Amino acid sequence: MTYPTPKFLVALALLGGGLSLASAAPAESPAATAAATVCAGCHGADGNSVATTFPKLAGQQKKYLLKELKDYKNGKRVSEIMAPFMATLSEDDLAELAAYYAKQKPAPGVVGDPALLALGKALYLKGNSKTDVPSCDGCHDENGNGDGKFPRVAGQHVDYTLDQFRLYAAGRRTNGARVMQAVAERMSEQETRAVAEYMASMP
């Protein structure tokens, strides 16, 4: 488990004072200011998080990202870290943030175990018929960019992806697509890691 960084705590203090996008400095867009002062501690100012347990947001599908932000705000997606941030932001703020991150350039992912890439690619593109695991490209696209409703997974951190698989398998990621829980339950630990490594390798 990665704990909040000093930057995160500073951001939280700002939020405690009622920071909102509307009060951002006029020198740059409100969303860019919020990204730099509120979100950067975990996700990076441009959405390319350094900590591998926090997701990359740069280049993420705007529609998907807005849905997730709204789910955090209304408690449908649970996170003790995200909850205080969402409490201070309006619906318009969330829409601006989603649009901002969607326009950022995603940094390349980092592969930890290249030996798993072949298996990961096969599972991503073909699934596993023996265990009724469908291919990933049906929802996330062959190149991993997603289609709006479903997220971009290309270049995502391996650690974050594995964590989400575990949450789905345990029934704790309740706001996601139902098929993901079934998929996560049926995949072995090696298979989930292989898929996560392959996703990280995608440009």
Q: What is the pLDDT of residue 172?
A: 95
Structure pTM? 0.86
Q: How far is residue 154's CA from residue 200's CA, in Å, rounded to a whole number?
A: 6
Q: Of 81, 103, 125, which closes a domain?
A: 103
Paired residues of 128 in beta bridges: 133
Domain check: are 89 and 161 in the same one? no
Of the residues 48, 75, 103, the one at which a domain ends: 103
Are residue 88 and residue 153 in the same domain, yes or no? Answer: no
Q: Enumerate long-range contacts of 159-165, CB under 8 Å, 24 or more apart.
A: 159/52, 159/53, 160/52, 160/53, 160/54, 160/55, 160/56, 161/195, 161/196, 161/199, 161/200, 162/192, 162/193, 162/196, 163/53, 165/192, 165/196
Q: Are residues 151 and 187 in the same domain?
A: yes
Establish if 108 belongs to a structural domain: no
Can you give the pLDDT of all 203 residues of the chain as single tens digits? 444 443 443 343 333 334 445 444 445 799 999 899 889 999 998 999 999 999 999 999 999 999 999 999 999 999 999 999 999 899 999 999 999 999 999 999 999 999 999 999 999 999 999 999 999 999 999 999 999 999 999 999 999 999 999 999 999 998 988 999 999 999 999 999 999 999 999 99
Are 104 and 46 in contact by the 8 Å Cβ rule? The answer is yes
Q: Are residues 168 and 97 in the same domain?
A: no
pLDDT at residue 28, rounded to an integer: 79
Report the pLDDT value the prediction gives residue 21, as an integer from 0 to 100: 53
CATH number of the domain encompassing residue 17: 1.10.760.10
Helix (H, G, I), strand (E, B) or coil at 56: coil
Q: Are residues 133 and 86 in the same domain?
A: no
Q: Last residue of a domain, which of 103, 123, 153?
A: 103
